[in-house]
Amino acid sequence: MLNPWGDLIAMARAWCLTKLGGRVLIGVPSGPDLIYFNTHRVYGPVMFSHLFANWNQVYTENDFSNFNKTGCNYCYEPLHVLEKN
């Protein structure tokens, strides 16, 4: 069964399991905010704010100027380091 909130639930579970001050490393497809029905999501500025709720972003390789340079909306997957506050 598909869960449209699965990504947010997984990040919430990770937050619950992480110790205070603990860090996580995450990489997700980045680009303009898009949802490809029944396959995947592409995270942009709006969806990142939901995905990273309650986390402190310590480091990111994200560069919004790299979106769609290759003609592939989901090929850019920068790394993000998040810390539990």
The pLDDT profile of the chain, 85 residues, written as one tens digit per residue, is 778 889 999 999 999 999 999 999 999 988 888 888 777 888 988 999 999 999 999 999 888 776 666 566 667 788 999 999 8
Residue 82 β-bridge partners: 24, 57
**What is the reported pTM?**
0.83
CA angle centred on 25, ends 67 and 56, rounded to 5°: 85
Q: What is the pLDDT of residue 73?
A: 62
pLDDT at 66: 65
Domain ranges of the chain: 6-84
Q: Name the amino acid, one letter, at 81.
A: V
User: Residue 60 has what pLDDT?
Assistant: 92
Question: How far apart (Å, rounded) are the C-alpha atoms in residues 4 and 20?
Answer: 28
